[in-house]
C-alpha cells in the first residue's frame, strides 16, 4: 500500500518537475526574444537620434568640418581631397613602422582649409630604411550629379565613392551637439561578461537647475 502511495507521489512529482522545466524553457525563450528586441530598439533609437541631429543641423543652416568637427555655416564649408603618404607603426607593440598611402574627402572649415593649403606639397625626409617618405597634398573638389571630382594638377579626376563618406558625424560630435541643443539622451545596452545580464542605460543629462 505504501509502495503504491509512494509510486503515485513519485509520478506526480515527476509531472511537476516536467511542468517546471517546460516553464523555464518558455521563460528563457521569451527572455532571449526580449533581449534581442531590446538591442534592436536601442540600435534603431541611435540611428534615428543621429537623423534628428542632422535635421537640426540643416534647420540651423550649419554643418560640421570633418577635420576638426567645428560646427560652421554651410556656406563656409568647402570640399577638399587630401592625399599622400604617412608614416604608421604596426606589428607587436607597434615595433615596426612603414609608410602607407591615404586619400580622403573632407568638408573643411576655413581654418582647416588654410592649414591644408599651407601643407600642400610638403614632403618628409627620405627614409632610407623604409625607402619611402611622407607627403601631403590637398585638392579642391566639386560635387557633380554622378559623384565627386577633384582638381589634380590641372585635371578633373572622379573620386572613388568609397572615400566620399561625409555624412556620419563622430559620436563625440553627436554627444556634444545633443547636449548643447537639448536633444534626447543617448541610450545603450550594457552587457556584463560573462554573465549574460543586460542593462539598459539612459544617459540622462543632469540639469543644473533641477533640485
Ligand atoms: Zn576644421
Q: Domain coordinates of the chain in residue numbers? A: 34-63+166-211, 67-165
How many Å lie between the centroid of ligand 1 and the Cα of residue 173? 13
Write down the pTM of the prediction.
0.76
pLDDT tens series, the chain, 211 aa = 699 999 999 999 999 999 999 999 999 999 999 999 999 999 999 999 999 999 999 999 999 999 999 999 999 999 999 999 999 988 888 888 889 999 999 999 999 999 999 999 999 989 888 889 999 999 999 999 999 999 999 999 999 887 778 888 999 999 999 999 999 999 999 987 777 778 999 998 766 554 4
How many Å lie between the centroid of ligand 1 and the Cα of residue 141? 16
How many Å lie between the centroid of ligand 1 and the Cα of residue 152? 22
How many Å lie between the centroid of ligand 1 and the Cα of residue 138? 14
Longest dimension (CA), the chain: 105
Give the span between the Cα atoms of 40 and 42, in whole angstroms: 5
What are the DSSP E strand ranges found in the chain? Answer: 62-64, 71-73, 78-90, 96-108, 135-144, 147-152, 155-158, 186-191, 198-203
How many Å lie between the centroid of ligand 1 and the Cα of residue 171? 17
Which residues, in sequence order, are bridge partners of residue 64? 71
Amino acid at each position: 500500500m505504501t509502495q503504491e502511495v509512494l509510486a503515485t507521489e513519485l509520478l506526480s512529482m515527476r509531472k511537476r518537475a516536467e511542468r517546471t522545466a517546460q516553464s523555464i524553457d518558455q521563460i528563457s525563450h521569451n527572455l532571449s526574444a526580449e533581449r534581442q528586441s531590446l538591442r534592436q530598439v536601442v540600435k534603431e533609437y541611435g540611428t534615428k537620434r543621429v537623423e534628428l541631429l542632422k535635421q537640426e543641423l540643416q534647420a540651423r543652416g550649419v554643418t560640421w568640418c570633418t577635420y576638426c568637427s567645428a560646427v560652421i555655416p554651410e556656406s563656409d564649408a568647402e570640399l577638399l581631397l587630401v592625399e599622400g603618404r604617412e608614416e604608421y607603426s604596426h606589428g607587436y607593440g607597434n615595433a615596426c613602422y612603414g609608410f602607407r598611402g591615404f586619400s580622403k574627402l573632407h568638408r573643411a572649415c576655413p581654418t582647416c582649409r588654410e592649414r591644408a593649403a599651407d601643407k600642400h606639397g610638403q614632403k618628409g625626409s627620405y627614409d632610407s630604411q623604409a625607402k619611402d617618405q611622407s607627403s601631403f597634398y590637398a585638392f579642391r573638389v566639386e560635387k557633380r550629379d554622378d559623384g565627386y571630382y577633384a582638381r589634380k594638377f590641372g585635371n578633373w579626376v572622379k573620386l572613388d565613392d568609397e572615400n566620399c563618406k561625409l555624412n556620419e558625424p563622430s559620436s563625440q560630435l553627436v554627444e556634444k551637439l545633443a547636449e548643447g541643443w537639448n536633444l534626447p539622451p543617448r541610450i545603450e545596452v550594457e552587457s556584463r561578461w560573462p554573465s549574460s545580464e543586460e542593462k539598459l542605460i539612459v544617459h540622462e543629462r543632469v540639469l543644473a537647475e533641477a533640485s
